[in-house]
Amino acid sequence: MLNAILIVIQPIVSFILIALILLHAGRGGGLSDMFGGVAGSSLAGSTVVERNLDRMTVIVALIFTFTTILLSMRLG
């Protein structure tokens, strides 16, 4: 029974996580910022909406992680 619930929840959480990630505003120049690029001042001016979006993304990512681990332990 738990396997069936996890199998239903997993794709729903996956699509929600994809949507939340796509809602994030792009920042910087991609890989060039990782190797010494100058970070813009946009990091300091995050709005309440951006912070809430970040929180929701982290929560959904944790749910996705836990359901993946549970599925791998139960089905494996």
**Model pLDDT for residues 2-61, shown as the tens digit of each residue:** 899 999 999 999 999 999 999 887 765 544 445 555 555 455 556 888 889 999 999 999
- The residue to which tokens 């029974």 are assigned: 1
Does residue 67 sit within a domain?
Answer: yes
SS3 of residue 75 by DSSP: helix
Does residue 29 sit within a domain?
Answer: no
Does residue 69 sit within a domain?
Answer: yes
Number of domains observed in the structure of the chain: 1
One-letter-per-residue 3-state SS of 3-62 = HHHHHHHHHHHHHHHHHHHHHCCCCCCCHHHHCCCCCCHHHCCCCHHHHHHHHHHHHHHH
Does residue 42 sit within a domain?
Answer: no
pTM of the predicted model as reported, rounded to 2 decimal places: 0.74
State which residues form the domain around 54.
Answer: 1-23+47-76
